A and B are shown apart, each in its own frame.
Chain A
């Protein structure tokens, strides 16, 4: 499968990149590691007249500490580099489960957050789609996975995102009209055909991790068919902070992805102010997983929704327990 023709620019500064994107009026795309964008262009799922390569922008390739105690990860930092960031174990765990080692030093963190939603039909070649009625995600008016659906339900597939949502990370976004800061969860909408809330001229520049408070533990668990090189069927992350007594939960959060259209926070606040026990974790996880809402199996259609929902509950329960254990040892 070959790429269609396009122009490519490699600006050395963020300003230049933003200008190029602004001038291209929606015809341009950011090229980072290219491990998601280039296959999509080969399959004729995504078209662009201009690719703006951001790998030459030095400021986007660093991890730095900010004055407020947060850690700023440049969007063009490789996923492999994140496996070495130890402040939030859930994030390092998630990074080490992205694709394979080879793809992780090509792929960037920013690209991972903006990886396209996946679907068995959508991810077929342009050749397969030739002459067929196009689906919502390809600009058509029907869905092959959920034939009665009025909207695309391709699956959110990043591994870093549930970890970042549970951690409460934010992203910095820049465009010609300035910069804005938003919670990672607000980067997504529940529409598989247009799953990201970034505007065409915007560049994601940094991911901001809050400092990890004392007595805090975090964990990430992914279910996929293979240990490497396989997108998640379900992935879950959880964070637990303990009060000074070492037993009472001060703060808790969790998120799920892989079987949902947009990465979804799971409400585990019921833990807060209570002494954690394994029974309590059972109860809270069982209730919280209901917030998953619609479960999609578009990413791998041989794994049914009921099973995915059940596994999500199990993974939530396990990740809470792992986070709790880490919090006790923190």
Chain B
């Protein structure tokens, strides 16, 4: 868990990574989801919400690049009530809004806690970006990098900060592997070489039983347990 145990001055929070809200309560765990365009970030967020919403107080922040499509998809799919989904505008630079200048995202998570809290978990989806886009530790406590098998099975080998350092690497759309000629064994070996002991999940959200997200759910539960400890 990335946490700085320093506390803000009174009033509105001044320091982003504070573990406590101004009222002294522990804030929600924040998990970031990043990765290339179309890899399945929103689909994973939606599946996580469906799996966890009955037992946890959840909210979502989306960072679309030039539309509100991710937020609108989540609203249309009714994975959460509308007041629990906030869209942040990123000014053509999604990685800036999650890494270099996180103020708009911090406001979004704080407003969600103020308005619909207390919350257990806030998922922050980055706009689709490149392999170097990672979340600031001032914004999220842990991050998931989502790639897919159709984006080329050499992505784990190429590495980059997302693939190499994310707390969880998700290789999505395994159902497409036979159709696009991706070698899952090779992707797993390359990921292992890049990430050593950091976990990797292979998933397909097209699974008939709708349970394709179960490994990510298990990982999220572990993070929540560690956060609450």
Chains A and B belong together in one complex: no
Residues in B lying within 8 Å of A, measured CB to CB: none
